[in-house]
Chain A
Amino acid sequence: MNDRNRNIGEYIPADDDNIIVCRCEEITKGEIRRAVHDGMFTLTEIRRYLRTGMGLCQGQTCTKLVKSIVAKELGIRPSDLEPATGRAPMRPIEMYILAQDGEDMK
């Protein structure tokens, strides 16, 4: 379905490329579209490449938006894209709290 060898064509600039998609990291639609043409075919790759969904809100707002932009660029259905890995912590949490975790078990 999401074959890396297939030709998805050239990146064609669009009028709405400068719209912010990831509000926290301020990543635009154009940046996401370009990243697909740079070879980022999965949501995990996009996330690492651009930091979409890695800001303060941890993708609460933009996950679905990014998914539909990437799918459209690849010419596939959003449901054909595997979601980015879900892992703890599920919510933003301050590092010092995580660092203390397990102290009481020692």
Chain B
Amino acid sequence: MRIQEHPILGTYDRGEIVSFTFDGKVLEGFEGEPIAMALKNAGVMVHRYTKKEHKPRGIFCAIGRCTDCVMIVNGKPNVRTCITPLEAGMEICTQYGVSAEPSNGGEKK
């Protein structure tokens, strides 16, 4: 889902390819791009499941406003992945509810 060449913008300045983990699985992305973009390009759509209704959420506004794309990043919950730059070795986890504990906010299913 990467745009290789754009008719107006040409090619994009991208960072180094780095590895990170998503729920323990090793994925790759470009350093410095928003975490959400790296995930999107790796085919990850669901960033979290909500607290009350356990419904999936993902990218919505992509500019850090709606907070729908929040995930657990390096153990810290509620990190807006659409505006947080990807770093090598980041541990990114699906968030359940509003806290870092998978069981606390209510698990999926």
Asked whether the complex places CB atoms of A and B closer than 8 A, the reply is yes
Q: Which residues of A contact B (CB under 8 A)?
A: 20, 23-24, 26, 55-57, 60-61, 92
Cα of A57 to Cα of B50 in the assembled complex, Å = 14
> Are A56 and B78 touching (Cβ within 8 A)?
yes
Q: What are 6 A-B contacts with C-beta separation under 8 Å?
A: A23-B68, A24-B67, A26-B51, A26-B55, A61-B60, A61-B66
**Nearest-CB distance from B84 to chain A (Å)?**
14
- Report whether over half of chain A's contact residues are helix, strand or loop; otherwise say mixed: loop
| Count of residues in B whose CB is under 8 Å from the partner chain | 15
- Report whether over half of chain B's contact residues are helix, strand or loop; otherwise say mixed: loop
Q: Which residues of B contact A (CB under 8 A)?
A: 50-53, 55, 57, 60-61, 65-68, 70, 78, 98
Cα of A60 to Cα of B66 in the assembled complex, Å = 6
Tell me which of A20, A26, A55, A57 contacts B65 (CB under 8 A). A57
With A56-B78, A56-B98 as given contacts, are A92 and B52 in contact (CB-CB < 8 Å)?
A: no
Q: What number of residue pairs across chains A and B have CB atoms under 8 A from each other?
A: 30
Top 7 closest pairs, chain A to chain B, by CB:
A56-B67, A57-B67, A26-B52, A60-B65, A61-B66, A57-B66, A26-B53
Cα of A56 to Cα of B70 in the assembled complex, Å = 10
Q: Which chain A positions have C-beta within 8 A of B65?
A: 57, 60-61
Cα of A55 to Cα of B57 in the assembled complex, Å = 15
Write the chain B residue with the least CB distance to A23: B68
Cα of A26 to Cα of B105 in the assembled complex, Å = 14
Q: Which chain A positions have C-beta within 8 A of B66?
A: 23, 57, 60-61
Q: Which chain A positions have C-beta within 8 A of B78?
A: 56
Cα of A26 to Cα of B106 in the assembled complex, Å = 14
User: Max chain A CB contacts within 10 Å: which of B50, B55, B65, B67?
Assistant: B67
Q: Which chain B positions have C-beta within 8 A of A60?
A: 61, 65-67
**Nearest-CB distance from A45 to chain B (Å)?**
22
Extra contacts, 11 of them, besides A23-B57, A57-B66, A61-B66 (Cβ < 8 A), are A20-B55, A23-B66, A23-B68, A26-B50, A26-B52, A26-B53, A56-B98, A57-B67, A57-B68, A60-B66, A61-B60
